[in-house]
Chains A and B, each alone.
Chain A
């Protein structure tokens, strides 16, 4: 089983619908992240959480919200999806250390029609 699991892996939805992407990890890391990747581009940070009570906005948080339900779970919500939120979304985790390597999930591909 993967250390960082994202669900769903693929989702097609319509404009205005509420969507939740879920991430769970078995690595025991305190830190979790949500990134977005558009075709041909690098990753942009949406939100990050350094522990259950600490949630921070990233570069592109508008239109998104998150919930850290437990150390192992971090969900990303689109309250009212719009077509330009069509992208590949990645969850990642890291340990607290200075060199904290990020471990990524396999991604959730979201299409908003």
Chain B
């Protein structure tokens, strides 16, 4: 499985934008980029995913580099509730046993200051 590299931790101030980077230099053409986050004492929750084009949803935006070797999760205005561990995960679109699995790395711990 292709791996991702994320900073161990990042800090932000409330109401400021946050850019969480992820490197995935060995990404294959069929890998989707997924982001999940885990709030304290909770299970992970889906944030966003994309393949090649930038994506927006109500929670965040995902900016994908043209060569797809890196991506950035953007929280437009951080709130205290956004403090969590953010996981960048590559997910194979193809069939087989890897389909449907998510392999979590250690993620980025985001601290949001009031």
Contact = CB atoms under 8 A, between A and B. Distances in A.
B107 A42 contact: yes
B68 interface: no
Contacts of B103: 45, 59
A33 to B, nearest CB: 8
Contacts of A90: 43-44
Interface stretch (A14-22, A64-72, A73-81, A95-103): A95-103
Given A48-B100, A48-B101, A98 B93 contact: yes
A100 B100 CA distance: 7
A43 interface: yes
A42 B106 contact: yes
Contacts of A59: 103
Interface residues on B, range: 20 to 34
A22 B11 CA distance: 37
A99 B48 CA distance: 10
Contact of B43 (A45, A99, A107): A107
Nearest to A95: B100
Contacts of A105: 43
B101 A99 contact: no
Contacts of A85: none
Interface of A: 4, 31, 33, 35, 40-45, 48, 50, 56, 58-59, 90, 92, 94, 98-107
Interface of B: 32, 36, 41-46, 49, 87, 93, 97, 100-107
19 contacts: A31-B100, A42-B87, A42-B104, A43-B44, A43-B104, A45-B102, A56-B97, A58-B101, A59-B103, A90-B44, A98-B32, A100-B100, A101-B46, A102-B44, A102-B46, A102-B102, A103-B46, A105-B43, A107-B41
Given A102-B44, A102-B102, 10 more contacts: A4-B43, A33-B101, A42-B104, A43-B104, A56-B97, A90-B44, A98-B32, A100-B100, A102-B46, A104-B45
